[in-house]
Structure 1
Amino acid sequence: MRIWDIHPGYLNRQSLLGEHRELHGILSILIHGKKGYSKHPETKRWAGFLWALKIRHEFLVAEMRLRNFNHKSYVKVNSAFKKWPEIYIDSPSAQFNLLKQKYQNKEEGRIPLPKNEQELWSQHKYSILARNPNLYKEIGPLVAKKEIGFEQLALILVENLRIIPDEKNIKNALQHMWGHIAKYSSIDKHLVNKMPLDQLLREIQKCTLKFKEPYLLLSTALSELSVWIENKDLN
């Protein structure tokens, strides 16, 4: 049983659907008192963090929908405690190593497992821009100058993707992303600034998948930003 902390875009089909199934199992234990794996370290880790577990569920669902997987099992939790577990079963960098071992001679996820800090950063940069533009400006030079290691960077990225992005920064990130697919889009560039965020993201997703835009195809933001745009009640 495992709930990953790294973005679900790195999970292959089997791992993605497997985590979704196990997350529902943990919720059943925590909400309905079912025994099952009640003493499992993963179950204990999420006890008291139902809101965060729901957010992880929505991240999984957003990735599933992007890959055109069916989803019909919804999660409803009543929790005003908007915090995440502070402990990890394995650190984020260790989780990447586990997946590298797991996926030897097997398919990977939508996002290839990063080989270095540069790849890891390029995959996450628009998710960070949507949350903290100042951090976005700081990390780029650190990565370019090799002044930050993989382990530290992976932890920073995972913890920042847990932050609720505000609408202004989401819009800024989407406009940067739109620049990658503008040549494929039928939408006039002068209208982009006025488009509802959900419509703009759908256009970005559609063009990225249809024309296989290489940069955005490997972006965490391509799926996860929809969680905050489409579920404003989570904020």
Structure 2
Amino acid sequence: MKRQLTEKLWREEKYRVMFHSQKHYDQIRKAMRDQFPHEQIEQLINDALHQTPTKSSMRNACQHMWGYFRKVATPEEKQKYEQLLNTCDVPTLLCFLQQLANHYSVTYLRESTILQP
């Protein structure tokens, strides 16, 4: 039961952690594989969220989320994504990714805390 809670927590926080720190993301992935206790995973996530995101970590997380739409997005959506990514307009880009997640019914992303309003 506790394991399911931990997996749900990680599913919801995964991209937000990646957005803040790739190093922490990798550390938590390993901790999940090694089945660390829920409390430890929670603490690792909290530690990650206290990191200041870098341009690189934010871009990386957005690119990972874009992967869900790469093959289904219209040429206009692809152009808008590229423009937002290149101008580093992260708040607008996250909002756009949220719109795409809703439009294409990508539940995994819709449930991700990084795209919550």
For residues 156 and 134 of structure 1, what CA distance do their matches in structure 2 show? Answer: 11
Structure 1 residue 194 corresponds to structure 2 residue 86 = yes
Aligned partner of 1:221: which letter?
I
Q: Deviations over 1:191-220 (max 9, x none)?
A: 364253233222211011222202101111
- Compared with structure 1, are the counterparts of its residues 166 and 159 closer, same or farther at alpha carbon in structure 2 (3 Å cutoff)? same
1:127 to 16, 20, 41: 16
- 1:202-221 matches, within 5 Å, as 202-221=95-114
How far 1:149 sits from its partner (Å)? Answer: 0.7
Q: Which residue of 2 aligns with 1:162?
A: 50
Point out which structure has higher relative CO (alpha carbons under 8 A, 6+ apart): 2
C-alpha contact (below 8 Å) 1:208/1:217 kept by paired residues: yes
Query: How well do the aligned residues superpose, as a CA RMSD in angstroms?
Result: 2.6
Q: Which residue of 2 aligns with 1:183?
A: 71
Q: Deviations over 1:16-39 (max 9, x none)?
A: xxxxxxxxxxxxxxxxxxxxxxxx
Provide the secondary structure at the position in 2 that maps to 1:182. Answer: coil
C-alpha contact (below 8 Å) 2:20/2:57 kept by paired residues: yes
How far 1:130 sits from its partner (Å)? Answer: 1.3
Q: Deviations over 1:127-176 (max 9, x none)?
A: 11111111111211221231x11011112213432333222211111111
Quick one: percent identity of the two aligned structures? 24
- Compared with structure 1, are the counterparts of its residues 183 and 202 closer, same or farther at alpha carbon in structure 2 (3 Å cutoff)? farther
For residues 103 and 16 of structure 2, what CA distance do their matches in structure 1 show? Answer: 22
Q: TM-score of the superposition, structure 1-length normalised? A: 0.41
- Compared with structure 1, are the counterparts of its residues 223 and 123 closer, same or farther at alpha carbon in structure 2 (3 Å cutoff)? same
Q: Which residue of 2 aligns with 1:17?
A: none
Q: Which has the higher helix share?
A: 2
User: How many pairs are equivalent?
Assistant: 111
Q: Which runs of 5+ in 2 are unaligned?
A: none
Max Rg structure: 1
